[in-house]
Structure 1
Amino acid sequence: MKNDQVPVGRRDADRAPAMAENRIDRIRPDAPELAAPGDHVIGVTTMSFTREAVPDVARATEDGVEEYDREITVEVWYPAAEGTEAGGSYTALLRDGVTEVQLRGRAARDAAPAAQGAFPLVLVSHGYPGNRFLMSHLAENIATKGYVVASIDHPDSTYDDMGPFGSTLVNRPHDQAFVLDRMAGLDDPIGAITDGDTAAVIGYSMGGYGALVLSGAGLTDTFRALPYAPPQQLLEINAMGSETLAALPDERVRAVVAIGPWGRNREAWDAEGLSAIDTPLMLIAGGVDDVSGYEAIRSIFMETTRTERHLLTFDNANHNAAAPMPAPEESWAVSESLGYAPFDHYADPVWDTVRMNNITQHFVTAFLDLHLKSDTAKAEYLDLVPDSADAVWDRAEDGTPHETDTYWTGFANRSAKGLRFETRNVGQ
């Protein structure tokens, strides 16, 4: 068989990836200003929490539902003690749920936490399917800037534990609320430096769905009647107008980032439900997202009228915009269990993943610093000409902007191409 006849992925399958670097912490030379790592050397550790006696949605039937203990694994990044040597690795599973890969990053495994500090808490919630390492690039980056970051493995929703979709619909916001409580109440050296009263949630796809429900956006009657809703009316716990939904929003959550949030494309919410959200919100999306639906994400942006919100759009990017880490080298090969290369789970056909990661790190840093640290200087990074194509670069040789300069703050000349950043205020 000639080389040009080799099926997609076959040549990569023949290429040994044993020493794959798989770095999650790369910063491109053209990255915007706030993508750069912060001043903190960071540690990382794995924790486990148990939600006790919850309905076993994945195994519920029309005849009944039993309760079980829901074990939740969490990867936690945090500022480390002075003198910690930076760098370490993670063992993670690929999308096929079978192949183990090594990822390399900045965090030192089980390093001693910083001796003092009060670092805001950030929760990270993956898609369906996903795992706690899918957005590890963002978790590491944020932690270096003085945050404690907890990334959740959601049972019934990971690569090696994919249960019925209904479990994700029911459990996602409640997993997030539960981990927030546990992380805020840690009684250990990491807990000693965690400001659990000042928190944010970052969710991708179904993680974004969960974050919006957690923020008070109740599910519609139409959505709860769809075929993939679980039996026993278990989804009523997230219904608009229910007491259980009313108990979810938490004043400790000061900001929400929803990347490609799924749900509005299936009428999970209507304008009334979304208008219940009053937490500052940043939406991030690919302009041709055909999983969550770009126009549906725009509807979320338009209908969350009780809060200030932003929408960052990567023109021509699909559902993998911004959130996934760079595709591990092993993902380029065809997986025997999937029958195809899982590369497409991580990558976008148009945008370079590291480029998108860096842009996301930049905007999320500005947004979190503004709302969790009251760093008002970061507001200028969010006050932009909506379409970067309309922004004008007019600066002196030393970089000083002239009066006519409107280029995006923190971006080098020509480096904001293909991006849009829109803002709407309360009541708009």
Structure 2
Amino acid sequence: MTQRAITTMPLALALGMTGSVLMADNPIDTQLPNAPELAAYGEMAVGVRQLELVNPGQVEILSIDPTADKPETLPTYDRPLTVEMWYPAQAGAAGDTTMKAFLRDGTTEVTLTGRAVRDAAPAGEGYPLVLISHGYPGNRFLLSHLAENIASKGYVVASIDHTDSTYRTQAAFGSTLVNRSLDQLFVLEAMAQIAGAGGDFAGLYDAENTGLIGYSMGGYGAIITAGGGVTAASVAYPWGGPHGTLAIHQAGSDTHNALPDARIKTAVAFGPWGMNAGFWDAEGLAGIQIPMMFIAGSEDDTSLYENGVRAIWENASDMPHALLTYVNGGHNSGAPMPAPAESFYFNESKGFDISEHYSDPVWDTVRMNNIAQHFVTAWLDDHLKGDADKAAYLDLVEDSNAGVWSMNEDGTEKEDHTYWKGFRQGTAKGLKYEVKGK
């Protein structure tokens, strides 16, 4: 390890290094004192379990030579997908609450700690299902803070490891472009079959009432799954899906017109990628057929903001769509878990400090996570549970800095009170929330 690597590592780790890095707890469940109201964990115990799924007969993008003539028959394979499932568990569940996950460097395995008990017995029935789809690269634990949080409030969450797109399996980008939405839809169907079969999870959740959360390339996939079709130009990119394999997602194609799956009622997209690279236009985005919340940083230098995420929101269909903006936040706004302690080192082969994959130059990560937990809870409760009370948390003045705190002595609001609901006095700063559509 270089001297630069040691000096950029937290002091507690650097002092304890004797040939290996000390193990850290890396909590994903931190709640700051100024966290907004709906960020708080729910009353339910949470379990977590790993599932191994296989999607048979999928086109094997990595085996296609884009420089050679198109073969008469495209190669296929059985595509493996690992899923981490968080769910409401029996009260008093106790046991292992750690998770093993690899860092962005693809080689360092770390321990994450939360509140979910490994393989705890599930409890209840009929919960909404939520799918989580990470970025490129990423893994199923990247949004674990959000998965565990909403599971405690009565959701079953299935977070996907997308083959060819994880830290350990990162491969040609064309595979991610073609497979991202297909993976989401396959996992939905697989989860529906699990809930309908006998066993621990029979009846636990209702796959007919599903939400989808995607970050970056997961957000790209969520837009496709929601009905947004990609452009003809993007199908033809030489660095994209080889030999037109992305055409299955092109706006107006028969395959894409079959979307969205009626079981998916709403979606949340953090920093969705693609507008910046010509994958979306007004015609394709008009195909979105479910309400969506978009979450972005105004200084996103990966998906971009004005010509990226905001442009997606502005061009989306007439369905209700919201845009939550972390002012001065970057691409990591709200989605990634806090940077594990072991990630604070400069990786020579990657050319950057690994912690940068999780963090933001301006915003505190836990603060961003708590805000995301608050808004995603309100959005999902409104759209998947029909909880009309939560809609009040989404009826806000656009600029949080413009909100007025005006309360009576008995704690009731005065007529001129416009402060963001659920935020304590002085804590709703640096955010914007805008809504379009009917």
TM-score (norm. length: structure 1): 0.95
Residue type of the alignment partner of 1:376: A
Correspondence 1:135-154 to 2 at 5 A: 135-154=143-162
Cα distance change, pair 75–272 in 1 and its aligned pair in 2 (3 A): same
Q: Secondary structure at the match of 2:209?
A: strand
Residues 148-200 of structure 1, C-alpha deviations (whole Å, 9 max, x = no match)? 00000000000010110000000000000000011111123223211111000
Amino acid in the other structure paired with 2:14: D
Is 1:112 equivalent to 2:109 in the alignment?
no
From the superposition, tell whether residues 191 and 264 of structure 1 become closer, same or farther in structure 2 (CA, over 3 Å).
farther
Deviation at 1:247, TM superposition (A): 2.1
**1:308-319 mapped onto 2 (5 Å cutoff):** 308-319=320-331
Name the counterpart of 2:76.
67
Deviations 1:48-86 (A, max 9, x none): 111101110122113433110100000000001233127
Change (3 A) 1:247 1:18: same
Q: Retained in 1: the 8 A contact 2:8–2:344?
A: no
The answer (yes or no) to whether the contact 1:260–1:284 under 8 Å persists in 2 is: yes
Please report how far the alpha carbon of residue 11 of structure 1 lies from its aligned counterpart in structure 2 after TM superposition: 4.8
Inter-partner Cα distance in structure 1 for 2:94 and 2:356: 34
- Aligned partner of 2:136 in structure 1 is 128
Contact 1:311 1:421 in 2 (8 A): yes
Q: 2:100 pairs with 59, 68, 91, which one? A: 91
1:266: how far off? 1.3
Q: Residue 360 of structure 2 aligns to which amino acid in structure 1?
A: D
Distance of 1:398 and 1:98 partners within structure 2: 56
Q: Partner residue of 1:409?
A: 421
CA distance in 2, matches of 1:301, 1:287: 13
Tell me whether 1:343 sits opposite 2:355 in the alignment: yes
Q: How far is the alpha carbon of 1:340 from its aligned partner? A: 3.8
Are 1:256 and 1:280, in contact at CA under 8 Å, matched by a contact in 2? Answer: yes
What CA deviation, in whole Å up to 9, does each residue of 1:255-282 have, x standing for no partner? 1000000011112111111111120110
Equivalent in 251, 257, 260 of residue 271 of structure 2: 260
Which secondary structure state, in structure 2, belongs to the residue aligned with residue 157 of structure 1? Answer: coil
Q: Determine helix, strand or coil for the equivalent of 1:244.
A: helix
Contact 1:78 1:190 in 2 (8 A): no
Indicate if the aligned counterparts of 1:9 and 1:341 stay in contact, CA closer than 8 A: no
Partner in structure 2 of residue 43 of structure 1 = 47
Comparing 294-303 with 154-163, greater Cα deviation is found at 294-303
**Residue 95 of structure 2 contacts residue 118 of structure 2 at CA under 8 Å; is this kept in 1?**
no
Instruction: Please tell me whether residue 300 in structure 1 is matched to residue 312 in structure 2.
Output: yes
CA distance in 1, matches of 2:84, 2:8: 34
Partner Cα separation in structure 2 for residue 24 and residue 424 of structure 1: 33
Match of 2:217 in 1: 206
For 1:15-58, what per-residue CA distance to the aligned partner results, in whole angstroms no more than 9, with x for missing partners? 44523120000000000000000111010000011110111012
Pick closer, same or farther for the CA change 1:60–1:25 going to 2, 3 Å.
Answer: same
User: What's 2:258 paired with?
Assistant: 247
Residue 213 of structure 1 aligns to a residue in which SS? helix
Q: For residue 158 of structure 1, give the secondary structure of its aligned residue in structure 2.
A: coil
TM-superposition CA deviations, 1:93-140 (whole Å, max 9, x none):
0000100000000100001111x3211000000000000000000000
CA distance in 1 between counterparts of 2:224 and 2:275 reads 12
Does residue 160 (structure 1) correspond to residue 172 (structure 2)? The answer is no
Pairwise mapping of residues 245-394 of structure 1 onto structure 2 (< 5 A)?
Answer: 245-295=256-306, 296-335=308-347, 337-394=349-406
For residue 400 of structure 1, report the CA deviation from its aligned partner.
Answer: 1.5
Distance 2:391 2:352 in 1: 44
**One-letter code of the match for 1:266?**
A
Residues in 1 aligned to 2:361 and 2:14: alpha-carbon distance in whole angstroms: 23
Is the Cα contact below 8 Å between 1:276 and 1:306 reproduced in 2? no
Q: Decide which of 18, 33, 39 is 1:29's aligned counterpart.
A: 33
The letter of the residue matching 1:364 is V
Q: Distance in 2 between matches of 1:129 and 1:422?
A: 29
Between the aligned partners of 2:226 and 2:50, the Cα distance in structure 1 is 27
CA distance in 2, matches of 1:174, 1:247: 13
Q: Which amino acid aligns with 1:202?
A: I
Q: In structure 2, how many angstroms separate the alpha carbons of the residues matched to 1:355 and 1:390?
A: 20
**1:9 touches 1:340 (CA, 8 Å); kept in 2?**
no
Letter in 2 for 1:160: R
C-alpha separation between the residues in 2 aligned to 1:95 and 1:6?
A: 20
SS in 2 for 1:161: coil
Aligned length: 421
Aligned-pair CA distance for 1:222: 1.5
Once structures 1 and 2 are overlaid, which stretch shifts more, 179-188 or 117-126?
Answer: 179-188
Give the distance between the partners of 1:419 and 1:59, measured in 2 at CA.
Answer: 45
Encode CA deviations 1:177-230: one digit per residue, 9 max, x unaligned: 000011111123223211111000000000000000011111111212223212
| Closer, same or farther: CA 97–15 of 1 in aligned 2, 3 Å | farther
| Structure 2 portions without partners, runs of 5+ | none
Tell me: CA distance 1:190–1:99, structure 2 relative to 1, closer, same or farther (3 Å): same
Change (3 A) 1:324 1:216: same
Aligned to 1:14: 14
Report the CA distance between 1:305 and its aligned residue: 2.8
* Contact residue 121 and residue 198 of structure 1 kept, 8 A: yes
Q: Which segment drifts farther, 262-271 or 186-195? A: 186-195
Structure 2 vs 1, CA of residues 11 and 362 (structure 1 numbering), >3 Å: closer, same or farther? closer
TM-score by length of 2: 0.93
Asked whether 1:178 is paired with 2:186, we answer yes
The equivalent of 2:110 in structure 1 is 101
